[in-house]
């Protein structure tokens, strides 16, 4: 399997540190608002990559943080007159709901910055002791000149950057020894949340959070570190500097970065105000449509959000689902007999699609081409597995389709339990309508149930139902 490594700017064969295991860290959102669909892009593409690693048999330790202390969170708290903690807690909960709705698996661990402050103080102390950081008036800075490889990930010319930064002075940071030095710890301002440290009552800088959480949950050297491409500089460059200097070993072997989700060919971002939240989209579409839309482009290509592309993703999802439903019906109702040679051939061809799918995914997580393989499989099924096909053929083809779709996190068949509870709730609504003598509604619900293949039986013990 090959991964495009931003560090070397080449596609490299993936070799994990420990055979059969993968440690992966993905920078998560700053929680001061509902997440937008730009934030959803790394969640979906790296969740898909994780699912693919698991499909290949790897055990994946997947860590993704919540940044829950930050200027923007404090500002939101002041505006609402609540604590920063309350804002963070609320939006972590909302974010988890959005992730579940997008069928993004929960990480093995979702650490929160505010619960890891001790580890940060310890790492900062270590960096000071080893001469990689210095303190000025309660603020601790990382000394970028102390790390020879600084700039290696972003491939930046440091001298250009230094002169650029010299013109762009941030007030309060005049005491930095070098314009590229960055904050590890800063003193609190009035009314801000703070923690006690040897340098001041204050809070950590953003970059140190990820170095510490990656170390704690994954170890000093990790296999894969991922995030949006805007994080390459300075965030990931700074994470590498901190971790390498504190731990004395390389930080991450592979760096993966997704390109931006744009709108009207401009970056979708909270600060520009040109964004849709995941909730906005959920009001209009099944979020599986959003997921398929995201996966229809290569993760390293910019993707422009548009109503047309969403409609086309919706139609694609329906095509897959219709095929899956037809196969399910055939598997339930078809004749239970041995397959003919021709039918065995059809099934084997279908099973061969897994290798084609894996080949595409092995090429740097190429979900767009992997999706095309799924459409080819759908075409194969529609052409060769007719109604009345034997159970074993339909069930076998369906297994391949659901397995490949599941690697992409696409749900092609509603779960039977979900369907059952939906039917039961419709029956309850119909009973309520009848009780209220609203027979028109009661009849409409009966017809809807009939269209789903559900027959109602009025019995002495109440209404029973069966699939016909």
Confirm if 199 and 183 have CB atoms less than 8 A apart: no
Closest contact distance (angstroms) between CB of 20 and Zn ion is 26
Q: Of the two residues 309 and 449, which places its CB atom closer to ligand AMP in the complex?
A: 309
The CB-of-211 to Zn ion minimum distance in angstroms stands at 8
Q: Which of 230, 286, 325, 369 binds ligand AMP (CB under 6 A)?
A: 230
Partner whose binding site includes residue 210, from Zn ion, ligand AMP, none (CB under 5 to 8 Å by kind): Zn ion
Choose between 235 and 321: whose C-beta lies nearer to ligand AMP.
235
User: Which SS3 state, helix, strand or coil, does residue 267 take?
Assistant: strand
One of 29, 151, 204, 334 touching ligand AMP (CB under 6 A): 29
Sole binder of Zn ion in the list 107, 210, 320, 426 (CB under 5 A): 210
Q: How many residues sit in the footprint of ligand AMP (CB under 6 A)? A: 17
* Residue 268 CB partners (closer than 8 Å, separation 6+): 36, 37, 38, 260, 261, 262, 274, 275, 276, 305
Residue 135 interacts with which of Zn ion, ligand AMP, none, CB < 5 to 8 Å by class: none
Least distance to ligand AMP, CB of residue 342, Å:
47
Q: What's the per-residue H, E or C state across 371-382?
A: HHHHHHHHHHHH
Q: For residues 125-152, b (16+ Cβ closer than 10 Å) or e, as one string? A: bbbbeeebbbbeeebbbbbbebbeebbe
* The one among 42, 119, 151, 205 contacting ligand AMP by CB under 6 A: 42
Gap between the Cα atoms of 179 and 196, Å rounded: 27
- Residue 228 interacting partner from Zn ion, ligand AMP, none (CB closer than 5 to 8 Å by kind): ligand AMP
* Cβ neighbours, 10 Å, residue 325: 14
Member of 111, 202, 228, 409 binding ligand AMP (CB under 6 A): 228
Token reading at 263 = 């709108």
Tokens encoding 34: 């509902």
Q: Is 95 in the site for ligand AMP (CB under 6 A)?
A: no
**In angstroms, rounded to a whole number, what is the distance separating the alpha carbons of residues 468 and 455?**
7
Name residues contacting ligand AMP, limited to 233-272 (CB under 6 A). Answer: 258, 260-261, 267-269
Instruction: Report whether 66 contacts 95 (CB < 8 A).
Output: yes
Q: Which of 7, 27, 107, 124 binds Zn ion (CB under 5 A)?
A: 27
Least distance in angstroms from the C-beta of 258 to ligand AMP:
6
Q: Please choose which of Zn ion, ligand AMP, none residue 269 contacts, taking the beta carbon within 5 to 8 angstroms, the exact cut-off set by kind.
A: ligand AMP
* Residue 29 Cβ vs ligand AMP, minimum distance, rounded to whole Å: 4
Total residue count of the chain as it appears in this document: 468
Q: Could you give the CA distance from residue 187 to residue 152 in angstroms, rounded to a whole number? A: 30
38 binds, among ligand AMP, Zn ion, none (CB under 5 to 8 A by kind): ligand AMP
| Contact partner, 41, from ligand AMP, Zn ion, none, Cβ < 5-8 Å per class | ligand AMP
Place of tokens 């314009």: 179
For residue 330, what are the contacts with CB-CB under 8 A and spacing of at least 6?
A: 385, 386, 387, 388, 389, 391, 393, 394
**CB 27, min distance to Zn ion, A:** 3
Q: What values do phi and psi take at 63, rounded to 5?
A: -120, 130
Task: Give the interface size with Zn ion as a residue count (CB under 5 A).
Answer: 2
Smallest gap, in angstroms, from Cβ of residue 169 to ligand AMP? 24
How far is 374 from 356, CA to CA, in rounded Å? Answer: 10
Q: Which is nearer to ligand AMP, 231 or 433 (CB)?
A: 231
Can you give the binding site for Zn ion, defined by CB under 5 A? 27, 210
Can you give the binding site for ligand AMP, defined by CB under 6 A? 27, 29-30, 38-39, 41-42, 227-228, 230-231, 258, 260-261, 267-269
């Amino acid at each position: 399997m090959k991964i495009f490594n931003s560090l070397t700017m080449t596609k490299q064969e993936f070799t994990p540190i420990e055979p059969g295991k993968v440690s992966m860290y993905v920078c998560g959102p700053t929680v001061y608002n509902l997440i937008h669909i730009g934030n959803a892009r790394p969640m979906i593409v790296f969740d898909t990559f994780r699912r693919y690693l698991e499909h290949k048999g790897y055990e994946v330790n997947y860590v993704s943080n919540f940044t829950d202390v930050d200027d923007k969170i404090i500002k939101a708290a002041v505006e609402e007159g609540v604590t920063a903690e309350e804002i963070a807690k609320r939006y972590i909960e909302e974010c988890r709901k959005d992730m579940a709705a997008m069928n993004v698996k929960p990480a093995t661990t979702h650490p929160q910055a505010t619960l890891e402050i001790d580890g940060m103080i310890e790492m900062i102390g270590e960096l000071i002791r080893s001469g990689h950081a210095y303190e000025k008036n309660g603020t601790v800075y990382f000394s970028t000149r102390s790390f020879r490889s600084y700039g290696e990930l972003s491939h930046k010319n440091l001298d250009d950057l230094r002169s650029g930064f010299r013109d762009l002075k941030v007030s309060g940071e005049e005491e930095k020894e070098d314009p590229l030095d960055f904050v590890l710890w800063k003193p609190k301002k009035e009314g801000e949340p703070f923690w006690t440290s040897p340098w001041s009552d204050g809070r950590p800088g953003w970059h140190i959070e990820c170095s510490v959480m990656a170390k704690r949950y994954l170890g000093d050297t990790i296999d894969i570190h991922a995030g949006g491409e805007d994080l390459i500089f300075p965030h990931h460059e700074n994470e590498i500097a901190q971790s390498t200097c504190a731990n004395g070993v390389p930080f991450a072997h592979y760096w993966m970065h997704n390109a931006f989700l744009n709108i009207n060919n401009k970056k979708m971002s909270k600060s520009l105000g040109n964004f849709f939240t995941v909730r906005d989209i959920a009001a209009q579409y099944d979020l599986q449509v959003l997921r398929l839309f995201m996966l229809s482009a290569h993760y390293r290509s910019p993707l422009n959000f548009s109503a047309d592309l969403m409609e086309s993703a919706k139609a694609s999802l329906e095509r897959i689902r219709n095929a899956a439903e037809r196969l399910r019906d055939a598997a339930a109702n078809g004749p239970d007999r041995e397959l003919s040679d021709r039918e065995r051939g059809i099934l084997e061809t279908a099973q061969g699609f897994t290798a084609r799918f894996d080949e595409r995914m092995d090429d740097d997580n190429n979900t767009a081409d992997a999706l095309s393989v799924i459409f080819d499989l759908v075409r194969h099924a529609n052409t060769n597995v007719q109604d009345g096909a034997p159970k074993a053929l339909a069930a076998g083809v369906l297994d391949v389709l659901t397995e490949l779709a599941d690697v992409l996190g696409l749900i092609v068949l509603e779960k039977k339990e979900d369907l059952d509870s939906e039917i039961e709730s419709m029956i309850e609504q119909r009973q309520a309508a009848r009780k209220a003598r609203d027979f028109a509604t009661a009849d409409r619900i009966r017809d809807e149930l009939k269209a789903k293949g559900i027959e109602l039986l009025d019995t002495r013990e109440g209404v029973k139902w069966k699939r016909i």
